[in-house]
Amino acid sequence: MRRLLLTFLLLGTGLAHGSELPETDWLELMPKSDQKALESMPDIDHNSPEGDGTFTQKGGMKQSKGLPAVMYSTKTVPSMNDKNIRIGGYPVPLESDAKGRSTLFFLVPYPGACIHVPPPPPNQLVLVRYPKGLKLDDIYTPLWVTGTLKVEKVNNDLADAAYALDAAKVRVVQESDL
């Protein structure tokens, strides 16, 4: 629990590290109407069928039917398209190179997203393309990702995303970022 709190503090500071871009908040990727709908959404009962999600044949997790519409939202913020950003989040690896470095992964706003159910809405998932690759120890490692964000609908066996990011830089969040 202590590690989780420290991680949220590290990601939530909004402080720029050196000459890096200021942090983009995840809510900036969500239209105001979706933000309001998310704020007024009732708690999800993880014991109900709607809270379980639906596993695909290939083992991915999709949103199950019956959740509030905001949980399926692919609505984006047009002004974010082609914007150079720095965003903090957690990796969900999708592809690796021959050296085992992650070259394609989802970036999600909280640890364990897409494993816990239900997964975040598509407009809260970012597909990151990072040909240079990054060695990941685990999916609970917080990252800073810098690059050009694109409004791009991505369908993947694991989840769907409404954004993609061509990463110029990916680094692990350090305590010194406080």
Asked if residue 120 has a cis previous peptide bond (ω within 30° of 0), the answer is: no
CA distance 27 to 55: 27
Per-residue pLDDT, 59: 46
DSSP H or E stretch at residue 145: strand 143-155
Per-residue pLDDT, 115: 59
pLDDT in tens, 100-114: 999 999 999 998 776
Domains (ranges, CATH) in the chain?
A: 2-39+68-177 (2.40.50.870)
pLDDT in tens, 151-170: 999 998 888 999 999 999 99
Q: How far is CA 39 from the centre of its chain?
A: 18
CA distance 113 to 171: 19
